[in-house]
Amino acid sequence: MLDINLFQAEKGGNPDLIRKSVKNRGGDPEIVDRIIQMYKDWTAVRFHLDENNKATNALQKKIGALMKAKEDASALLAEKVQLAKDKAALLEEEKVKDAELKNTVMSIGNIVHESVPVSMTEDDNLLVREYLSERDSPNGEKAPVKRDDYLNHHEVLWQLAGYDQERGAKVAGHRGYFLCDVGVDLNLALIMYGLNFLSKRGYKKLQTPFFMNKEVMSKTAQLSDYDEQLYKIAGDNSEATENGGASGDKYLIATSEQPISAYHMNEWFENPSKQLPIKYAGYSTCFRKEAGAHGKDTWGLFRIHQFEKIEQFVLTDPEKSWEMFDDMINNSEEFIQSLGLSYRVVSIVSGALNDAAAKKYDLEAWFPKQGEYKELVSCSNCTDYQSRKMEIRCGTKKLGDREKKYVHCLNSTLCATERALCCLLENYQTPTGINIPAPLVPYMGGVEFVPYVRFIKQ
């Protein structure tokens, strides 16, 4: 969420910057003025509460003096009762206004970085750079080539007997699947290679919980995610008791970014120059409804409800987050390059950014059968948008500090393994089987080639 002081020009804030950002995201800048007024209304109630407390304290002294002198204080006691009633009403009003203010502030996305292309359509995503693998340019080609003679990834995997979508759909419904034999081996190879790849670059490996408490998830997931992405697990009374009366409801994670963003919740890094950055290689199964993706990539493993992912998540000093953003997308590029895949990196337009991201790059790899680039990686700098909700602070603790300093949080896919597997299957197929990319061979027991065991009838 944004700092409420950023809305207050008199406190050094910049409401015009927020208006511009809201507009660039496709929203109505009027919401900024509404928040400014809501804040004034809230502070007015706070003022009346302070005045009530002062009046109560002054009255209590008068009552004490009268009682000490053994004089009648009944009139003042009645006045005190009225002040108490007024205070109760003010406290309730303050509670309501505070909740309304916070909810409205949380509905506003992060400040869009000045370098982000401004548009409401992803057709305007800005090309940052391209990479053409040696495999795709044996004769000096300038671009990867569409291969109509190739099979789609799910056809390759079927001929390898690497997955069973029919039985998967019977058991788990639409987009359900079983990975089998070589499908399992390849998926695990990508997982282990990805974790070791990041470990060598100073990342700490974390296998996260697959679900989160509702109260914690609400601090990291945006409102639209609850309808379009997140699966809810209804709790029961016993869980509510264990949680101290809090809701027992939980949500399956859509990415390990969500639990890792809460890993240091309510912590303070007093010596950021020595304690930061902290780099995590998150590994988890991920669960997504994909409710907003009907009709998109409905076959195979590209867009599914359950998949594994290796995620980069970094907490860093605010002054160094953009340097870290470059490092993280470079890690993802080096990983994809090591697998011999051609790709492009694009800067996502302002209207397509999720709320937390100030800027996002997508890495889209080449799928030769389909003749198009498709997203394998998303890399985002969320600045202090997540850490402010999670109360993850940095810097020396000083009494009377008016301005809180929060760490910056960044995330980037390294490898969504089933989706990466789709790309590898299309790119490494041959008429008789698939070649195994060199980095995965050690994780495949030294196997360099896997032959087909059956063929699709033409």
pLDDT of residue 238: 65
218 found inside a domain: no
Question: Domain of 99?
Answer: 4-106
How big, in percent rounded to 5, are the helix, strand and coil portions of the chain?
A: 45, 20, 35
Is residue 11 domain-shared with residue 134, that is, in the same domain? Answer: no
- Is 418 marked as binding a ligand? no
- Is 74 marked as binding a ligand? no
What is the DSSP secondary-structure string of 270-311? S-HHHH--EEEEEEEEEE---TT-TTSS-STTSS-SEEEEEE
Closest CA to 315 of 410, 201, 216: 410
pLDDT of residue 294: 60
Could you say which of 79, 106, 133 is where a domain stops? Answer: 106
247 found inside a domain: no
235 found inside a domain: no
| Mean pLDDT, all residues of the chain | 94
- Is 376 marked as binding a ligand? yes
Per-residue tokens: 366: 């080449």
Is residue 64 domain-shared with residue 137, that is, in the same domain? Answer: no
Is residue 179 domain-shared with residue 295, that is, in the same domain? Answer: yes
Cβ 309 vs Cβ 301: under 8 Å: no
Average pLDDT over residues 104-109: 96
Is residue 22 domain-shared with residue 163, that is, in the same domain? Answer: no
Burial class (CB in 10 A: 0-12, 13-18, 19+), 412: buried
Give me the CATH number covering residue 68. Answer: 1.10.287.40
Is residue 316 domain-shared with residue 426, that is, in the same domain? Answer: yes
Binning pLDDT at 50, 70 and 90, where does residue 27 land?
very high
321 found inside a domain: yes
Report strand pairing: 306-316 vs 408-416. antiparallel
- Is 128 marked as binding a ligand? no
- Is 311 marked as binding a ligand? yes
Is residue 57 domain-shared with residue 190, that is, in the same domain? Answer: no
pLDDT of residue 402: 58
Is residue 98 domain-shared with residue 138, that is, in the same domain? Answer: no
Q: What is the pLDDT of residues 190-229, one digit of tens each?
A: 999 999 999 999 999 999 999 999 999 999 988 777 778 8
pLDDT of residue 227: 76
Is residue 24 domain-shared with residue 154, that is, in the same domain? Answer: no
Dihedral over Cα of 225, 283, 326, 370: its sign:
negative
Cβ atoms within 10 Å of 246's Cβ, excluding its own: 15
- Is 378 marked as binding a ligand? yes
Q: What is the pLDDT of residues 223-242, one digit of tens each?
A: 777 778 899 998 876 666 56
- How many domains in the chain? 2
Is residue 389 domain-shared with residue 343, that is, in the same domain? Answer: yes
Could you say which of 71, 106, 141 is where a domain stops? Answer: 106
Per-residue tokens: 216: 């914690």
242 found inside a domain: no
Burial class (CB in 10 A: 0-12, 13-18, 19+), 275: middle
Cβ 131 vs Cβ 337: under 8 Å: yes
Is residue 43 domain-shared with residue 166, that is, in the same domain? Answer: no
Give me the CATH number covering residue 332. Answer: 3.30.930.10
- Is 402 marked as binding a ligand? no
280 found inside a domain: yes
Could you say which of 52, 79, 106 is where a domain stops? Answer: 106
Alpha carbon 300 to its chain centroid, in Å, reads 25
Phi (first) and psi of residue 311, to 5 degrees = -120, 135
Strand pairing partners for 412? Answer: 312, 379
The whole-model pTM stands at 0.92
Is residue 61 domain-shared with residue 156, that is, in the same domain? Answer: no
- Is 375 marked as binding a ligand? yes
239 found inside a domain: no
Is residue 364 domain-shared with residue 287, that is, in the same domain? Answer: yes
Q: What is the pLDDT of residues 287-330, one digit of tens each?
A: 999 865 566 677 889 999 999 999 999 999 999 999 999 999 99
Please give the Cα distance from 401 to 192 (Å, whole number): 45
Res. 177: pLDDT tops 60: yes
pLDDT of residue 140: 82
pLDDT of residue 329: 99
Cβ 117 vs Cβ 125: under 8 Å: yes
264 found inside a domain: yes
